[in-house]
Amino acid sequence: MTFHQSPADRALSRRKALAAGGVLSVAGISVLAGSASAGLFGGKNKKTKGDPEADAALINTAISLEHEGIAAYQIAAESGLLEPAVLEVGVLFQSHHKAHRDELARIVTTLGGTPVEADSQAAYAEQIEAGNLKNQADILQLAIRLELGAANAYLGVLPGLMDPDYHHLFARLAADEAMHWAALKGAVGEALPQNALSFG
């Protein structure tokens, strides 16, 4: 098995990429529709399928996870232990986690809930046992663990969400975390999983 692509394959992947773009804009539209209907009906609650309160509780738990991730990258960035290139990637990944947090918080509010607030940086430093981080390699291993845990967390929580729109969102969040994980594994030169379906 090789990774060579024939021109036909490349055209196919371009089409696939375009199709993926299409999916994103469909999500965009449904998000718009959701907030528009919330506005129309005047209430705080989006007209949801299922159990908005239960969904909001699970989405809030996901926000806690993102808060911890954002703090972990912050602690790593401020540690002075990272090479500039690694720092740059860390800042990029942190920005993804901030975007996740913002999107999840927006939904909790739409559902009539209150997005959970972040703890102090010191509390997160203790939670992730930042005192044990002595060098860049330690930090990368921590990031690998947290990203894998986050990808699996999203995949394992997804079936419990009542509104199918959130299934889609959680799958997209898991994909981001899996992308971070794979990039970090590559950066430290570790092998990728031998078996398929290793996530979830």
Instruction: By CB under 6 A, name the binding residues for ligand HEC.
Output: 61, 65, 153, 156-157
With beta carbons less than 8 A apart as the criterion, state whether 99 and 180 touch.
no
Q: Going by C-beta distance under 8 Å and a sequence separation of 6 or more, which residues neighbour residue 197?
A: none
Cα(11)–Cα(34) distance, integer angstroms: 35
Largest CA distance in the chain: 57
Which of 20, 25, 80, 129 binds other proteins (CB under 8 A)? It is: 129
> How far from the centroid of its chain's Cα atoms is residue 174's Cα?
6
**Mask of contacts with other proteins, 47-76, x by CB under 8 A?**
-------x--xx-xx--xx--x--------
Q: CB-wise, 163 or 177, nearer to ligand HEC? A: 177
Minimum separation from the CB atom of position 61 to ligand HEC (A)? 5
Q: CB-wise, 82 or 157, nearer to ligand HEC? A: 157
Minimum separation from the CB atom of position 42 to other proteins (A)? 27
Residue, CB closest to ligand HEC = 153
With beta carbons less than 8 A apart as the criterion, state whether 78 and 54 touch.
no
140 near other proteins (CB under 8 A): no
